[in-house]
Amino acid sequence: MNQSTSKVVPQQSLWRHANFLRLWSSETISSFGAQFSELAIPLTAVLLLQGTALQLGILNAAITAPFLLFSLIAGVWIDRHRRRSVLIASNIGRAILLATIPLAAATGHLSIILLLGVAFLVGTLRVFFDIAYQSILPGIVEREQLVDANSRLEASRAVSSAAGPSVAGGVIQVLTAPFAIAFDAVSFIFSTLFLSKIDYHEPEPDRSDRQSVMAEMRQGLRIVVRDPRLRSLAGAGSTANFFEFAIMALFLLYAVNLLNLKPAMIGIILGAGATGAIAGALLAGKLASRIGTGPTILTSLVLGVTVWGPLIYLATPTTAIPLLIVAWFFGEVAFVAWSINQSSFRQAICPADLQGRVNATMRFLTAGVVPLGSIAGGILGDILGLRLAIGVAAVGLLLAPLWLVFSPVLAVKKLGEAETIGFLD
């Protein structure tokens, strides 16, 4: 049960759940805005600053390295503070940082170093936001509502991914990439307004048995490593993320230089393909109800890794548009269904007092490998060439589902039946 005084809302009433609707609106706005910077920052490096494969790998690593560097301490911080305050401060900070890129472009001070610095700091704030976001949701909705709530949130992100790149690609082509980033900065301000309206009584964190920061960081690690369910999810997620981002570090250079795609066409491909994420969000709960949460987690991951990477590798200038649309569509169907069910499973089995540290540890293990994968992709791209490097990473993706084959996660049919984890000595 929730550690709050908010009224219990039946699962079918999320449409009338005011606090969830505000959280949902906030996430929808910021997700749409993020499509501009996610496409515009690397395109700024490629088109305006003539970035190399290695520089793009480092840029992607700068965005994601904070998950490796700061996730564990962020989890302890979030368990010690009210989570809504962390969300608001993270949004405001990101808005200010992103605004510096169009300002630098307008004054002639744009550089790779600036992009790297902004990317790193924005990534750091994202660490705190994402962990606080995952940790506050189980306090706002009930355990039985988690898949439904996560599905709706993921559906909004999917719609943003479907519409955002197409709009962003067109805006980038008209205004140039640096100035398109201003749209993302503004979106964080509007997102913050909705967060500030959430009427959620978040209890003061318990200070009675507080240990040192290092001790609490180690505690989160021990819980994830010793629990076979969390351990298998972390292993699968880490493997998938490492090889996925090795591919993503090279993708824009691959699309522009080898496949001869223009920015607007890249946006259309990503937007059209990402409509699969909407289907994945709609199917995640239904599939879990039909075959069980655990089997859905494995099935969706298998589908994702066997479709997404290989089709990107097989694309040519003449087949790029249909193959990449199919790759992104079915890849998003699978990865979104995987994400919703494994996140809901983790939130359901984790007590409120552990949400921050467990979510942080999972982020540390799964997102912490992203900068390593990005750098590896950049190095492989320089050594092997873009196409062969993507092929190697696509093969590596196939290893991810092996973590789940003998995992106790597969035995879980309903979230309400999953055993809750506890503190470890």
The secondary structure of the chain in percent helix, strand, coil, rounded to multiples of 5, reads 85, 0, 15
What does the block give as tokens for 343? 């996140």
| pLDDT of amino acid 416 | 72
Supply angle C-alpha 235, 240, 242, rounded to 5.
95
Residue 208 lies in a domain: no
What Rg do the C-alpha atoms of the chain give, in angstroms? Answer: 21
* Residue whose pair of structure tokens reads 């239904």 in the numeric block: 286
Per-residue pLDDT tens listing for the chain (425 residues): 344 434 444 444 777 788 888 888 888 887 777 777 777 787 777 777 766 777 777 887 787 778 778 888 888 888 777 788 888 998 999 899 999 988 888 888 888 888 888 889 988 888 888 888 878 888 787 777 788 888 888 888 777 766 666 677 777 777 777 777 888 888 889 999 998 888 776 666 555 566 676 777 787 788 888 889 999 999 999 999 999 999 998 998 899 889 988 877 887 777 767 678 888 888 988 898 899 888 999 999 999 999 999 999 999 998 988 899 999 899 989 998 999 999 888 888 887 777 788 888 888 888 778 878 988 998 999 899 999 999 999 999 999 999 999 889 888 888 777 777 755 54
Residue 10 lies in a domain: no
What does the block give as tokens for 375? 């750098």
Residue 131 lies in a domain: yes
Residue 1 lies in a domain: no
Q: Which residues contact 393 (CB under 8 A, 6 or more apart)?
A: 243, 244, 246, 247, 309, 373, 377, 380
CB 130 within 8 Å of CB 83: no
What does the block give as tokens for 368? 């912490």
| pLDDT of amino acid 285 | 85
Residue 422 lies in a domain: no
Residue 175 lies in a domain: yes
Distance CA 260, CA 2 (A): 52
CB 222 within 8 Å of CB 424: yes
Residue 381 lies in a domain: yes
What pTM did the predictor assign?
0.72
User: How many structural domains comprise the chain?
Assistant: 1
| pLDDT of amino acid 217 | 79
Q: Angle, nearest 10°, between helix axes 146-175 and 18-43? A: 40
Q: Which amino acid is at 84?
A: R
DSSP letter string, 86-137 = HHHHHHHHHHHHHHHHHHHHHHT---HHHHHHHHHHHHHHHHHHHHHHHHHH
CB 199 within 8 Å of CB 18: yes
Q: Which amino acid is at 21?
A: L
Distance CA 285, CA 119 (A): 34
| pLDDT of amino acid 404 | 93
Residue 206 lies in a domain: no
Cα 7 to chain centroid, rounded = 30
- Residue 163 sits in a domain whose CATH number is 1.20.1250.20
| pLDDT of amino acid 2 | 42
Q: Which range marks the domain in which residue 64 is found?
A: 16-200+213-417
